[in-house]
Amino acid sequence: MGGTYTESTSKNPSEKNEQQQRAGECPVTFFKENEFGRLGSYMQGKIKSWCDSLSGSLVVEALKRAVERGKHYWSYVDAILVKWELLQVRNVKDAREKEKQVKPYKKTIGRAGRKPVRTEMLPDWFTEEGFVEVPDESLDVEFEVEKAKLMAELEAFRERGAGVVM
């Protein structure tokens, strides 16, 4: 007698998955296995408090998100749970849906969108067109005379053996 086995369930696969997740993963065990730090009585109390407030599956989901982002510390997980509590998330599916609705936070650099602190007033001569400053040739002559005098002084200093090496 060859029969076929069929299973009829009224639950959809995602609900079944969530139940398996709840049954299979304990937040405390996940915390230990993924090296979130030392698990003392204080941390166990914090985890239990969040499990009572939200649910164990949500705590595990928050721990998973922290692991995926490389943030193996409780304060990151705690921030996720606080956000979910404010958004009134009740299960993992709800968390995923509400996260899609919330715009991701983009950090802006600088003072984008704000007025500048001050504005500089440019002098009239800066914007005048056709204004060309002609260098004074007498300044060039004076410069060359001063340069020659300093070079002669430097040469005399070297000849005396003062030890200046160039």
Domain that holds residue 69: 16-101
Q: Is residue 9 part of a domain?
A: no
Q: How many domains does the chain have?
A: 2
- pLDDT category of residue 100 using cuts at 50, 70 and 90: confident
C-alpha atoms less than 13 angstroms from C-alpha of 106 in its C-beta half-sphere: 5
Residue 12 amino acid letter: N
The fraction of the chain above a pLDDT of 70, given in percent, is 67
User: Is there a single domain that holds both residue 94 and residue 156?
Assistant: no
DSSP, res 32 = H
Higher model confidence: residue 92 or residue 17?
92
Segment (H or E) for 4:
none
Per-residue pLDDT at 166 exceeds 70: no
Residue 20 to residues 23, 54, 57, 102: CA-CA distances in angstroms?
5, 18, 10, 28
19 has a pLDDT exceeding 50:
no
**Does the pLDDT at position 24 exceed 60?**
no
Q: What is the pTM of this model?
A: 0.49
Residue 31 domain-assigned (yes or no): yes
Q: Does pLDDT of 128 surpass 90?
A: no
Q: For the segment 42-84, what is each residue's pLDDT rounded down to a tens digit?
A: 988 998 999 898 888 899 999 999 999 998 888 999 999 998 8
In a domain, 44, yes or no: yes
22 vs 124, more confident: 124
Consecutive H or E run containing 138: helix 137-159
Residues 94 and 166 in one domain: no
The predicted structure's pLDDT at residue 67? 92
34 with 82, same domain?
A: yes
User: 89 falls in which pLDDT band (50, 70, 90)?
Assistant: confident
Higher-confidence residue of 39 and 17: namely 39
Q: Which residues are within 8 A (CB) of 80 and not within 5 positions of it... i.e. 6 or more apart?
A: 62, 65, 66
- Domain stops at, among 46, 81, 101: 101
Which of the four pLDDT bands, split at 50, 70 and 90, describes residue 132? low
